[in-house]
Amino acid sequence: IIKCLRGHLPKAFFDVHLMISEPAKWVKDYSDAGANMYTFHIEAVADIAAARDLCIQIRETGMRVGVALKPGTPVEGVFEIIDAGLVDMLLVMTVEPGFGGQKFMVSTMSKVEAARKRYPSLDIEVDGGLAADTIEIAAKAGANVIVAGTAIFKAPSRKDATDLLRNTVTAAIPNYPKAA
């Protein structure tokens, strides 16, 4: 799919978010297909050493590195690889991965807040249950990258829904902690 889309959208940024076992096995294929960022779930690797190796493998292909956390995974578990400069984006899942239309889990915002405080310049993405009634909570916590499916595709106006999400996040960014 990425390879086909790349042919039609040569300037698009493709972040592939993969909840798969053995994420290292697929890095070259996604790079060859034209992905710009490879986001893997920390839960899919054996340990932090394997995560470090995977980050390096991804970077060697020229792709950016994203690391995703399920709602029950502590954010502190990825600090080591972020501190090492191996991660370009942290993705905090705000629902259990697997299907759309789930309710936003406010409890996950403590992870976003902790990451934003520690990493003022890091891209922090949230995915799941983002909509008009939850976007401000996520933006104020420190999320600057948003994944929204149902909120956009089931909205009366996709443009209006997208604008609301984008504008809410943009308004919150100046209030984020600054790098020391």
Q: What is the per-residue pLDDT for 12?
A: 96
Q: What is the per-residue pLDDT for 176?
A: 86
Q: What is the per-residue pLDDT for 101?
A: 72
Q: CA-CA-CA-CA torsion for 36, 41, 44, 46, nearest 10 degrees?
A: 90
Confirm if 178 and 120 have CB atoms less than 8 A apart.
Answer: yes
Residue 2: phi, psi to the nearest 5? -60, -45
Q: What is the per-residue pLDDT for 99?
A: 75
List, for the chain, all residue ranges whose pLDDT scores fall below the cut of 70.
179-180
Q: What is the per-residue pLDDT for 13?
A: 96
Spatial distance between the Cα atoms of 34 and 161, rounded to a whole number of angstroms: 29
Residue of 86, 74, 80, 92 whose CA lies nearest to 142 = 92
**CB-based contacts of 28: which residues, under 8 Å, 6+ apart?**
61
Q: What is the per-residue pLDDT for 180?
A: 62
